[in-house]
Structure formats: structure tokens, C-alpha cells
Amino acid sequence: MAKPSITEARGITPEVMQKLNQYRSSKELRGIQTKLTGTARELRKLSNGWSIASGLLGRLGEYLTAEQRQLLNDAAHLIDSVNTRVEHAKEKHARSEKASKRRQDARNARAKQLVAAEYPFPTDSMDDLLALLKTALIFNRARVYDSFYSPKELNHRYRDYLQAPARLIGWKSVTDYRASHLSSLRWDLVSQLTSDIAYDDGSDVEERLKALQVKVKEAQTQSELTAEERETLRLWTEALAPTAPAEGI
């Protein structure tokens, strides 16, 4: 049985590349290819002797023995072999990335449709804004919205938004300034809900939506709103109520 050539990187199998590339992108593999190609090119300049393209490396190579030049040439062939295996892995990885992106794009589009249908979140009136705040508090307790904050922390955060700014710039009134904090909730809620159900864990987007809704229902069953949250809604109701004009004006 013939001995495997030392210039063939037989140990770098597709399985090995798959394991090594688990957390790598095709772009990173392309960068490795560039380095390997450059290394092999420099070794050949040194092993092949002087030519116009080889420069100083070629001049130095003329002072090596034939055996040393062959050793360098073999090393260049070995690097070429490694490079070939990296190239195959890169192409396979690139195809997988494109397929994953197409799948995720489709999930994102479907998630946007479902959220738009299930949670339109209007912001046309004061009641809409208060309903939006109530939804945010409940969804946070269900850990499907702004879970970085605990329910108590999120509630206090929206209490803080009731503070009037030191200077009112760009707003007609303090009421409009305060209302902007609630109207911006719509974008946050839609964005986070869409991201949650679009996440690819192997289940369908519809299944993830149902799971999310179960969490919300469980949170509501335990407690629709706490006493502190009801107080926050009361304070916001007062803050957003239109101011009655003074008598005689």
C-alpha cells in the first residue's frame, strides 16, 4: 500500500472543517484562504530561485540546497492542499448562509404579518396610549417585552416619564411631551414581538406566536395589574387628560 503523500492534508476532512467552522462565517474562511494563498506564493519564491517576480526571496533561495528547495516546495503544495479544503468548506458554508438568510427573511416577513394582525396597537387617542402602556406592563411580566427590566423596574421607569422636562423644546405642551413616551411604545412592542416570534428555534412562526400568547394569558391570570401598576395608569390618565380652559377666557 502506497504511503500517503506528505503534501496532502488528508487529516483536514469535511467533518473536521464542519466542526472548526461551527462559529465561523464564509467571510472569515475567505480571509484564511487569502493568507494561505499568500504563504504558498512566498514559499515558492524562496524555493524556485530568482526571477523578476520573486525579488529578494528568490535571491536568497539560490543559496539553499536542492533538498531545502524541495522541502519548501513540498510545504507550498501542502498549504495548497489545506487551501483547497478550506475553499470547499467556504463554498458549502456560503450556500448554507444564503439558505439560512432566505429562511430567516421569510420568517421575519411572516412574523410582521402576524403581529400586525394580532396587535395593531393604535395610538390615535388617549385611551389607545393608556391601553398601550397597560399592554407593555403585562407583556413585560410575561417576559415577552423589555425583559431586561423587572416588572417593578419598568413600572417605575414609566412613572419617571411623568416628570416634566426642565426645558420644553420641540413640543407644544408637557402633555404632548409625555404622550410621546407612550406612542414610542408601539414601535418597541412591535419590534420586540416580531423578533421574538421570528426567532428560528425549529418551530413555525405561528407556533411561537401561540407560545407567546400563552405566556401573556398566564401573566394576566396571575394578576391583570398590580396596585402599583394601576396607580401608574391613574397618574398617566390624569397627565394626558386635556386641560379645561379657565373661566372667562
CA distances to 130, 149, 165, 209 from 231, rounded to whole Å, are 12, 19, 21, 30
Whether the predicted pLDDT of 244 surpasses 50: no
The Cα–Cα gap between 183 and 121 comes to 10
Task: Give pLDDT, residue 164.
Answer: 83
Average pLDDT over residues 114-142: 95
Whether the predicted pLDDT of 163 surpasses 60: yes
Whether the predicted pLDDT of 249 surpasses 50: no
pLDDT class for 243, splitting at 50, 70, 90?
low
* SS3 per-residue string spanning the chain: CCCCCCCCCCCCCHHHHHHHCCCCCHHHHHHHHHHHHHHHHHHHHHHCCCCCCCHHHHHHHCCCCHHHHHHHHHHHHHHHHHHHHHHHHHHHHHHHHHHHHHHHHHHHHHHHHHHHHHCCCCCCCHHHHHHHHHHHHHHHHCCCCCCCCCHHHHHHHHHHCCCCCCCCCCCCCHHHHHHHHHHHHHHHHHHHHHHHHHCCCCCCHHHHHHHHHHHHHHHHHHCCCCHHHHHHHHHHHHHHCCCCCCCCC
Question: Is 95 in the same domain as 123?
Answer: no
Task: Give pLDDT, residue 2.
Answer: 60
Whether the predicted pLDDT of 227 surpasses 90: yes
Question: Is 226 in the same domain as 127?
Answer: yes
Range of the domain at 57: 14-102
In the chain, the percentage of residues whose pLDDT exceeds 90 is 67
Question: Is 38 in the same domain as 63?
Answer: yes
Question: Is 51 in the same domain as 134?
Answer: no
Question: Is 134 in the same domain as 225?
Answer: yes
Per residue in 16-70, pLDDT (tens digit) is: 888 888 878 899 999 999 999 999 999 998 888 777 777 888 888 888 999 999 9
Average pLDDT over residues 188-212: 96
Question: Is 129 in the same domain as 96?
Answer: no
| Domain annotation covers residue 131 | yes
pLDDT class for 247, splitting at 50, 70, 90?
very low
Q: How far is CA 126 from the centre of its chain?
A: 34
The Cα–Cα gap between 83 and 105 comes to 32
| Domain annotation covers residue 140 | yes
Question: Is 151 in the same domain as 236?
Answer: yes
Question: Is 87 in the same domain as 125?
Answer: no
Whether the predicted pLDDT of 168 surpasses 80: no
| Domain annotation covers residue 247 | no
| Domain annotation covers residue 249 | no
Whether the predicted pLDDT of 80 surpasses 90: yes
Task: Give pLDDT, residue 21.
Answer: 81
Closest to 142 (Cα-Cα) out of 220, 202, 64: 220
Question: Is 229 in the same domain as 143?
Answer: yes
Task: Give pLDDT, residue 18.
Answer: 86
For 142, the grid coordinates are 410575561
| Domain annotation covers residue 41 | yes
pLDDT class for 190, splitting at 50, 70, 90?
very high
Q: Select from 50, 69, 102 the last residue of a domain.
A: 102
Question: Is 159 in the same domain as 207?
Answer: yes
| Domain annotation covers residue 80 | yes
Question: Is 69 in the same domain as 163?
Answer: no
Task: Provide the number of structural domains found in the chain.
Answer: 2
Average pLDDT over residues 195-214: 96
Task: Give pLDDT, residue 246.
Answer: 37
| Domain annotation covers residue 110 | no
